[in-house]
Amino acid sequence: MEKIENADFKHIGNQLLVWYKKNARDLPFRQTKDPYKIWICEIVFQQTRIQQGLNHYNNFIKRFPDAKTLAEADENEVLLYWKGLGYYSRAINVHKAAQQIMNEFGGVFPDEYDEILKLKGVGKYTAAAVSSICFDGKIPAVDGNFYRVLSRLFADDFDISNSRAFNYFSELAHLILPENVGDFNQAMMDLGSEICKPKNPLCGECPLNNDCLAFSLHKISELPVKKKKVKAEDLDLKYYFVHRNGQFLIQQRKDDFIWKKLFEFPPTISDDLIPFIKSIKTVNHKLTHKNLSIEIFNVEVDSEDAWNKFVTENEYKITNVEGSHEMSFPKPLENYIQSYDKAYGIL
């Protein structure tokens, strides 16, 4: 990097802005400079494709249009409106961050990068995005799109899994950074999503192909370089779907492990309920760094005495299919409830 840091690459960033002005995607959150809405959109689309998450974003903003409304909402309702987006810890964090905005910033969204970074669940990328788009901040919002575009643009084989990758590519980004950093950050997102894709990039349509070293050297498919692969942990879970006359038992998870604050079925049952096990279903489910093998036992309790005894001795909540629609469950358990509804047809 020492060899190129004095070179003039600003024309690349300006060229990208010209392309963005003509080709920017028409997205609802681009019609506003409201930092609250930009923040929510950045959190939603961190782990969700725009096409898949747009309706969820719109519904969330409609129900929680500002930090005050979100801060005052019940956490379970926030989780419910996050339903379908996954990674539910994000919902818990935006709820806590909204309360921070009300309690620590007097209800006004902070306008400085370092202050935005103090909000719960906000990292360097999100802080840079909100700061640049809403407050004319000058920090590149470096994420996977930046890694990929810059690796190819400079034919740079720096390992993106390296712990120093964020700082390294932030420095590279500054070499091409134009004056309008907010539009530049959004342009890089669009370029990485629509043109400079991980596989089968549309190099012929790329506005930067004349400056792209990887393109001229035919190395596009070799970049970016990622050497370290995180090995997924295998995890076995066991649940008991205890039901009687259309009702079933659930509890809310704590916030110290996967699926924080979501609802689940009992993980254990008493010995006197074992005779009521009718079937067992095994479901495999992948999380980012975990491979889950989930055993779900169908416990159809015919005895009112056994049901009442188990309910009395435990702190499980009783619900039904209709009631479950107002709660957030992990996807495998939500699917199981749907299959139960189809099989039994009881609401």
Which sequence positions are flagged as catalytic?
A: 42
Q: DSSP string covering 161-226, please? A: TSTTHHHHHHHHHHHH--S-HHHHHHHHHHIIIIIS-SSS--GGG-TTTTT-HHHHTT-GGG-SB-
Q: Are strands 263-264 and 247-252 parallel, antiparallel or unpaired?
A: antiparallel
User: 312 CB contacts (<8 Å, ≥6 apart)?
Assistant: none
**Angle 9-223-197 (CA atoms, 0-180°, nearest 5)?**
85
Give me the helices (H) in the chain, please: 10-23, 35-44, 50-63, 67-72, 75-81, 89-104, 113-116, 124-135, 144-153, 165-176, 181-190, 213-216, 304-313, 321-324, 331-344
Look at residues 174, 208, 212 and name the one whose alpha carbon lies nearest to residue 23: 208
Q: Are strands 263-264 and 277-287 parallel, antiparallel or unpaired?
A: unpaired
**Angle 19-196-187 (CA atoms, 0-180°, nearest 5)?**
35
User: 114 CB contacts (<8 Å, ≥6 apart)?
Assistant: 127
3-state DSSP call for residue 320? coil
Q: Are strands 317-319 and 263-264 parallel, antiparallel or unpaired?
A: unpaired
